[in-house]
Structure 1
Amino acid sequence: MIHAKHRGLKASGLSGAVVAALLLSGCVSIGGKPPQRLLTLDAAHKVAAGASRVAGDGRTLIVADPEAPRMLDTVRVPVQLGATSVAYVTKVQWADTPRHLFRRLLAETISATTDRVVLDSGQFSGDGGQRLSGELVAFQIDEPSSSAIVTYDAVLTTPAGKALARQRFTASAPVGGKIEAATVGAPLNAAANRVAADVAAWAAAVKD
């Protein structure tokens, strides 16, 4: 089930600024029921327990959280109804925002399938490795095609910020049955894993 309505928030005891912030967040409900289902991403390729790797010169890769438009920077699951119309699936939410979940999926996939030593942006790379950043352009259900679509614009840069390569990656997976809480998680996870695998292969091939 999907809906495109916005429920109002009662402002008793809350300032106008606080209410406005809650409305903009798109993921806070006052007095509402918790979602029946929480979704996350599961990497198809995982680093084996106990695996270790020593970074060679320049082989570290810092994977940064991608940017995302406001429509995607929420724990709600969007459904593209048409070119200018978006709704959200009811009774389901992401456990974290898609851009944070996708960064972790990217990092795990790259670590498992390449010789890169992957770091997040809060860790220090002593040998000055490359940096992977970009934008999560699409991470949603497309109603006309009844499919999940994930699109990521990847940018690989040097430690000094010089762009080495830029490429768009996209994948889709069919939604089995009616678009609702129980059917959207698996196809989004499948599409995200395909994009992550393609990005991993591309990042491994780009040289300074």
Structure 2
Amino acid sequence: MRKLTPELLDTLPHDDPGAICSRRDLVRINRFMGNDSWILRHLPQSPTSITEIGAGDGHLLKIISREFPETPIRAYDLAPRPVGFPEKIEWVQGDLFKQPPAPKGGVLIANLFLHHFHPEQLTELGHWLENFDTILINEPLRSKLPLMMGKLAHPFIHPITRHDMHVSIEAGFVPNELASQLHLDGKGFIIKETSTWRGSIRVIASRA
């Protein structure tokens, strides 16, 4: 059963030194898990637009913008626009649930973000996501092996990251749970789900 506990990174100002260190850890964790490369491999060849929710420091979108220089790209996050972030990427700051529905079409990316929400919030968010043609989701796999690997990483990561890593895994998902809570299966999507030994559970939802 999912256990939702507040993450320390979410309580800190975006420019807090510990938060900056933890975000750097997250870049390395994403690289180890293969999340960024998986998303890049599964982006359509000619997407009409690309949107990321929970964009964090924008690391992933900066990579994507170099691969798709002509594609409109939008980021949503509670934090303000990162300093020096590419101007061509639109940055929307604020509570995602208070944002108007996204334009129809394009690709939606959610990378290590949806585990923050309760089932009722995920259902509400599913209505917001249904406008997209393709949805790519990476979330923590809720199982014993990722927890064990997280403990092995303790000496190499910031204390904030140590706390939040275990909280994230406990709030993560098991197979067939996430798409069901988002109610994507009844909205005209074809759902493909996989998981990895490195601790990711991945969902691709694409229009039939």
TM-score by length of 1: 0.30
Greater gyration radius: 1
TM-score, length basis structure 2: 0.30
